[in-house]
Amino acid sequence: MAILETVKVSFTYPDQLLPALNQVSFSVEPGEFIVICGPSGSGKSTLLRMVKQEIAPYGERSGEIFYNGKKLTEYEPVKIAKEIGMVFQDPENQIVMDRVFEELIFGLENIGMPTETMRTKLAEMVHFFGINHLLDKKIHLLSGGQKQIVNLASVLLMEPRILLLDEPTAQLDPVAAKDFLHMVKQMNDEFGITVLIVEHRLEEVFPLADRVFVFDHGSLKISGPPKDVIAKVWQEQYRPLFPYLPSTALLYLEHADNLQIADIPLTVKEGRKWASQLKTHQSDTSFKKQENYNEKQNPILQVKNIYFQYEKTGKKILQSLSLTINEGEWLTIVGANGTGKSTLLKVMAGLESPQRGKLIYNGKKYSKPISTDIAYLPQNPKLLFIQDTVRGELIETAQQFHLENYEEKINCLVELLGIQSILDRHPYDVSGGEMQKSALACVLLPQPKILLLDEPTKGLDPEMKVALGKWLKSMQSRGLTIVMVTHDIEFAARFSDRSAMMFQGEITVTTSTKDFFKGNAFYTTVVNRMTRDGNIPEVVTVEEAEEKWGSQKIKN
Amino acid sequence: MDNGFRSLHPFVIFLYYVLAIAMIMLYQHPFFLTFACLLLVIFNFALDQGKMLKKWVSMMIVLSLLFLILTPLTNHRGNHVLFYLFNSAITLEALIQGLLNALTLIAILTLTITFNYCMTADKFLFLFSKWMPKWSLLAMLSVRFVPLLNRRIVEIITVQKGKGLSVTSGPLKQRVKHGLLLVQVLLTWSLEDGIQTADSMSARAYGLQKRTKYTPYKLHMNDGFMILILTGLTGTGIFGWWLGDGVLTLTPFLEPTILYGREWVFFTIYVLIIGFPLIVEGKEAIQWQYWKR
């Protein structure tokens, strides 16, 4: 019997014409691992919230949801709250308590469990998750990944039968995301917990999934085993969903001659197996297209021998760091958590002043923010907004910088970004991508020469990422210099010109993005790991493969 | 894990503080108070080598000097006139009264400094959660919010500095205006995120039925024994105070400061109460020494 079944579930938010969910019917067997994907606003989160009754959105609803053959509403609220658990996107905001221990037992206290039972359960769970050393810590001192693990553990302590996860790794770095997803998979494998996960990191979750649900505009478009879904999306030329396919599969689909569903690679291992059979007519094409990167090298911003620490006795964040940024380039800085990437951006923006070292912009030293020339977009764009509407915010920013005929400039920028429709809405009420764009509009209004971006792709869906990348690329061609700090290797590989690696407060390597990723053994894209050391030209992205392999059709 | 005095049940710790403060307030005698101060300073050192005490020491000296000087200037009762200042008598009794006030202040301050260290917020909340479960949960939530909001405002200030909204430079009126704007950002942001926290609470069955409270502390035999000793000693101590021992009579006749007869008995009890944590710590240290051999 299905553990969860929905029958023609529809939902419309108040004052909305179109339904957020439209006649969604599916059933989930116990122990299944279901991945739900689709563009933002396609109703994925709404669906999870409909299943999780306590936080069901308010609006017009129809259809029925069954849990173990009985309507959800017929169960006792406590039982259902206990048996259907949910982990949300933001690691920080889900936390209620100050310390890990209190957070873990919060749910158990809510369901009225006696102290002794709590102790036993906690002992088990702490052992299983290996978080004994965190128990007495204050939660805000943990990393994002650890916080999310705590959130997962505190939900699992209530022994749910179904686990709902709403983009749980969107705010995490790739390593932490991988750890988290493996933990979820382990719970699924070893305890048979049914998992419904909304996720954008498809490279990671597709290999784990039993079935994939593809949502678009509120309806369930395609469902089935991952490989079938990929084949279907491809065969039906369902373009809007292409960015959602894992790049291993995309590479295969674009270059394989006779498509076999069973052959679609989901993991790098499978991908390498396929790639090893490939043959090219030319052994090496890399000389054909010389990188035209070295043409102009005009340093616009120089960081010289910077030392920085937040507290006198604290850890040194930046140590004798030097970096040169050339005019018109897109530089990516990557590196593990806590290596000081974000701090470096803040220093470059003039927001934090280094203890030692020099910052030179256009030949002149500076130590204060020069927002008209160097724009900084923080990781959390919410911090930028002061006014009630996006329009108000833009006008306020223009006045702040005493811009002349600013209305024209605003209109021009708004059109470029395509955010006309959200101008009169509150900046917090728009989607993640739109908020990012509104923030970009604000910082780009004074027409700066340099744009500093801190994790611009965090929380964006694949489609928005591509759109953002393309847009930034077009701004770059208009003369904007971009410096970006990111964990998103795939994004960096696809769009940036030069990459630098940060380690222990220093820049270790700086080189062109393609060489950078080809030189890395571990810290590189999935496609590169797939095509490395084969008898085909090594590539970093699907686009590069198209460029290098495309002209000559590869025979299997 | 805590050890020594801090490993006792929160109720015992709380009881000690209540009783010790009571004893300090009751036994207004320079000899008693001096010893209380001495014991409490040692207690401070036993806990953290006097680190916290050092932060407060200058304030304590200033305050006690103030008491010492101001009391004789405002209080003129007493038979032993030392000298006249601006036509008013400075009496020995008033001087002693000032000394008593100063010593009481020092004793209570040194005691409260250790309070935060021994009686952490969660222990305190645990004690009162039995009677006020809703309030204690609210307090727990607020405990997290104070540092959270602090971290957020720092972040906002940094980011907004880039937009030219500074709270550290410019005319005062503008700075105030900017400050208010930043607080507004903080509030909108926090309220927005607070909705998610509320969702996460209700997703974990909050508010569906009566909550239980995890009790991290168990009342052991040892704790019960400590409670008996403490209340017994204090009971005797209060009896002594009722008899008039251990209180220096200032008016109508000044009593000699030297203790006599029965007062020594009550002094011993007094020392045992105030020095209670030291005894516990000492006992543990001795046991440790023996165990090592």
Q: Using pLDDT thresholds of 50, 70 and 90, give the confidence band for residue A280.
A: low
Cβ neighbours for B87, distance < 8 A, ≥ 6 positions apart:
none
CA distance A357 to chain B (A): 20
Question: Which pLDDT does position B97 carry in this prediction?
Answer: 87
Least Cα distance to B17 among B56, B35, B43 occurs for B43
Question: Which pLDDT does position A556 carry in this prediction?
Answer: 41
Question: Which pLDDT does position A552 carry in this prediction?
Answer: 47
Q: Return mean pLDDT, chain B.
A: 84
B213 in A contact zone (CB under 8 Å)? yes
| A78, A96, A369: residue with CB nearest B208 | A78
Q: Which helix (H) or strand (E) holds A3?
A: none
Question: Which pLDDT does position A296 carry in this prediction?
Answer: 60
Q: Using pLDDT thresholds of 50, 70 and 90, give the confidence band for residue B123.
A: confident
Q: Which tens digit of pLDDT belongs to each residue from A348-396?
A: 998 888 888 889 998 888 888 887 889 999 988 888 898 888 999 899 8
Question: Which pLDDT does position A290 carry in this prediction?
Answer: 46
Q: Which tens digit of pLDDT belongs to each residue from A50-79?
A: 999 889 989 999 999 999 989 998 999 899
Cβ neighbours for B73, distance < 8 A, ≥ 6 positions apart:
B85, B88, B90
Q: Annotate A192-229 with DSSP letters as a single string.
A: --EEEEE-S-HHHHGGG-SEEEEEETTEEEEEESHHHH
Q: Return mean pLDDT, chain A.
A: 86
Lowest mean pLDDT among A189-193, A296-300, A398-402, A420-424: A296-300
Fold entry, domain A327-352+369-526: Rossmann fold (3.40.50)
Fold entry, domain A4-239: Rossmann fold (3.40.50)
* Mean pLDDT in residue range B157-175: 83
Question: Which pLDDT does position A41 carry in this prediction?
Answer: 80
Beta strand ranges found along chain B (DSSP E): 81-85, 88-91
Asked if pLDDT for residue B171 goes beyond 60, the answer is yes
Q: Can you tell me which residue has the tokens 């300090």? A: B24
User: Chain B: residue nearest A110 by CA?
Assistant: B211
CB within 8 Å of chain A, chain B residues 250-289? none
Mutation site for A-interface testing, chosen from B174, B191, B200 by largest number of A Cβ within 10 Å: B200
A109 in B contact zone (CB under 8 Å)? yes
Q: Which tens digit of pLDDT belongs to each residue from B36-75?
A: 999 999 888 888 888 888 888 898 899 989 988 888 888 7
Lowest mean pLDDT among A155-164, A540-549, B104-113, B129-138: B129-138
Least Cα distance to A517 among A192, A130, A190, A247 occurs for A247
Do A102 and B212 count as a contact with CB atoms less than 8 A apart? no
Least Cα distance to A227 among A219, A237, A235 occurs for A235
CB atoms inside a 10 Å sphere around CB A28: 21
How many Å apart are CA A183 and CA A152, to the nearest integer?
A: 9
Torsion, Cα A37 A42 A43 A48, to 10 degrees, reads 10
* Domain residue spans of chain A: 4-239, 246-278+527-555, 327-352+369-526
CB within 8 Å of chain B, chain A residues 116-145? 118, 139-140
Helical ranges in A367-431 per DSSP H: 390-400, 406-417
Taking each helix axis from N to C terminus, what angle separates A432-444 and A390-400, rounded to the nearest 10 degrees? 20
How many Å apart are CA A485 and CA A377, to the nearest integer?
A: 11
Least Cα distance to A298 among A46, A479, A422 occurs for A479
Question: Which pLDDT does position A288 carry in this prediction?
Answer: 44
Q: Which tens digit of pLDDT belongs to each residue from A463-494?
A: 888 889 999 999 999 889 999 999 888 899 99
Least Cα distance to B241 among B219, B221, B269, B216 occurs for B269
* Mean pLDDT in residue range A142-169: 92
Asked if pLDDT for residue A167 goes beyond 70, the answer is yes
Provide the ipTM: 0.84
Return the higher-pLDDT residue of A196 and A367: A196
A310 in B contact zone (CB under 8 Å)? no
Question: Which pLDDT does position A283 carry in this prediction?
Answer: 46
Q: Which residues of B touch A135 (CB under 8 A)?
A: none
The radius of gyration of chain B's CA atoms, rounded to the nearest angstrom, is 26
A392 in B contact zone (CB under 8 Å)? no
